[in-house]
Amino acid sequence: MIYELRRYGIAENRMVDMEERFREVTLPLFKKYGIELVGCLHTTRHVQVCGDQVNEVPTGKSQFVFMMSFADAHSRQAAWEGYHADADFLAARQEQAEIIESMDIEVFEVVPSAD
């Protein structure tokens, strides 16, 4: 099992637009290409821990965070290839560029002993 975490920095006052785009464009494409959404959240701050010191730090920007799962690396690659070639994605791509200011993607594999 492969998990992918995406963290998008959203332009000021555009979170509602991001949510709408995700609901109307992204989720139908996920279904079409077999991308399973594990969860979706917002974050506006994070906590830094260094030794005994704990600091809550505002990020300064709203973040839209979501996690997906895939059967394996090949399934992940095939799903994203289809997604990025899809006419609905291509039509919405310009709007995406106006809403999403930054993107961070992390891919995780399950630790065998944790199954």
pLDDT at position 44 is: 67
pLDDT at position 96 is: 85
Model-level pTM? 0.83
Task: Give the sign of the dihedral formed by CA 106, CA 65, CA 93, CA 25.
Answer: positive
Buried/exposed 46-66: b ≥16 CB within 10 Å, e otherwise: eeeeeeeeeeeeeeeebbbeb
Task: Report, in angstroms and rounded to the nearest whole number, the Rg of the chain calculated over CA atoms.
Answer: 16
pLDDT at position 58 is: 67
pLDDT at position 3 is: 97
- Read off the pLDDT of residues 60-72 as tens digits, 9 standing for 90 and up: 668 899 999 999 9
Average pLDDT, consecutive stretches of 10 residues, N- to C-terminus, the chain (115 residues): 94 91 95 96 78 76 91 96 95 88 94 73
